[in-house]
Every structure is written in C-alpha cells, then in structure tokens.
Structure 1
Amino acid sequence: METLIGGCLCGGVRYEVVGEPVRFYHCHCSRCRKASGTGHASNLFVKGELRWLSGADQVRTFAHPEAQRFANTFCTVCGGRVPRQVPTHVFIPAGSLDTEPSIRPQARIFSGSRASWSCDGSDVPAFDALPS
C-alpha cells in the first residue's frame, strides 16, 4: 500500500489516495489530448480509495456523452484536473500528484491517435529551463 497526495493548480482542491498503483499509461487518444491540452495525458490507475482533504465542493466531473470510459474531473476555480473514483480503482491524472508513485509509465496507449506534433521524448531537444 502507498499513499499518494496531490491537488489542483490553485491549491484549493487537495486529495489523498491510499492503495496499490497497478497501471500507468501515457494516453494519446483525442479525448485525453483535449482534456489535458497536451500531446498525451499521463494517467495512473490505483486500486484504492480517494479521500478529499480540501475543496471537495469545488470538484466537478464532465462525463462525455459518447464515451463509456472517459470523464474529466477538475477544479472549478482553476480547471486543474484531479482524480476520480470509479468502481474498480482511482483514476489519477499524474500531473496532479505532489508525491512520486512507486511505478513508472508502462505504455503509450492509443498511439494510433497520436498527434503528428507530439514528441516521444527523443525527437526534440530538452532544456532544464526556458531557453533564451
């Protein structure tokens, strides 16, 4: 068992998830790209329980009407993505974590939907800060 702690961008929503991380994927599907505003969403799946430490009243979920498995849970103040509890696990947007999970990304999924401009980590230069 491990405890994962995180929150939204403005800090109004804080959470704790206690459980066992079982999957960690970079998802390239179009819905995850739109929800995250990036080339992929980094999603962690934990067999465990979600507990709101603060800001539960600021949390909303948009469930896409055409998707069985997609929903976007976020802070209504800053729009930052936060976890959601589903029947079998807790879905955590990895970027919302303050603590490091014990597992690393295991796969890139829906890679057939990958945006042509999305980097795979090796095809663009890397900098420690904003280059001048």
Structure 2
Amino acid sequence: MKKITGSCLCDTVRFECDDSIESFHLCHCTQCQKVTGSAHASNLFTAASNIQWLKGSASIKRYNVPGRTISNAFCAKCGSALPYVSLSGKALVIPAGCLDVAPDIQPSSHIFYAERAPWLESASDCLKYDSTPK
C-alpha cells in the first residue's frame, strides 16, 4: 500500500501512514475555526492505528476541548496542527494541511455547516491571486 507522509512547519515532527483514508470532511464548527484561525478545518479520517511517528513525537502537545469531542494536537516548537487519535479512540484525525503532498481523496462533506463563518459565502467572489498581490 502507498504511504503518505507529513510534518509540522518546522519539520521537528514527521509521520507516515498508509494511504487508506476513509473520509475527508471540512468542519465548520466554532471550535475548528478557533483551532485553525480560519473558516474551517480540513480533516482526513483513517484507522486509529494508521500512523508511524518518524521523528519528534516528544514535541507533540495536545489540548482536549472541555465538554466536546474535539482535540488539537500541535508541535510545541512551531504550533502546526498534527494528527491525533480521536477521544473515542476509533479514528486518527489528520489535518490535511500537514501532509507533504495533497491526498488522493477529495472532501466529501462540510460538517457543522450551520456554524460556518458568516463571511465564507462571499469569499468565493473575491479576487484570486497566485501569490501575494502587489
């Protein structure tokens, strides 16, 4: 089976997993907006055991949101989001942005869409640039 790899921004933490991603959801809940600092989290889901830490696992920190099933795992050095096993222990949640290459799977759903950022709809009408505008 094909392997996929990923890391944090500073490359302190690296991991790999089998490319057996079960689902890909864009989560718009208010907690994911806070965690990402953006409109939504882009999370891949696979079996909880489907990860091998290649380096830096001691640098991973985790925050469990009280009263919710959401967590946030991140590099203690650069703060980048990293994979974590769900609180139920049933799934590995992989932030899509920490992968070295784009996954083969496409997002299948927007979840908690009722909580989406109020400006999200109008963002599709914004100008689009390939880099920072001058």
* Structure 1 length-normalised TM: 0.91
Partner of 1:30: 30
- For 1:84, give the aligned amino acid: Y
Q: 1:104 aligns with which of 97, 103, 106?
A: 106
Contact preservation (8 Å) 1:39, 1:119? no
What CA distance in whole angstroms lies between the structure 2 residues aligned with 1:39 and 1:80?
17
Q: CA deviation at 1:97?
A: 0.5
Per-residue CA deviation, residues 20-73 of structure 1 (Å, 9 max, x unaligned), is 111111111000010001111100112351111111010011011111x20000
Query: Moved runs in structure 1, 4+ residues, more than 2 A?
Result: 85-89, 118-123
Could you say what the CA RMSD is over the residues aligned between the two structures, in angstroms? 1.6
Identity in percent: 37
Contact preservation (8 Å) 1:50, 1:84? no
Q: CA deviation at 1:16?
A: 0.7
SS at match of 1:102: coil
Contact preservation (8 Å) 1:15, 1:51? yes
| 74-83 or 94-103: bigger deviation | 94-103
The aligned runs of 1:1-132 (5 Å cut-off) are 1-47=1-47, 48-67=49-68, 69-86=69-86, 87-119=89-121, 122-132=124-134
Contact preservation (8 Å) 1:42, 1:95? yes
Per-residue CA deviation, residues 83-117 of structure 1 (Å, 9 max, x unaligned), is 01242221100000102212111111111101112
- For 1:54, give the aligned amino acid: K
Contact preservation (8 Å) 2:96, 2:102? no
How many residue pairs were aligned?
131
Contact preservation (8 Å) 1:5, 1:97? yes
* Structure 2 length-normalised TM: 0.90
SS at match of 2:51: strand
The runs of 5 or more residues in structure 2 that have no matched partner are: none
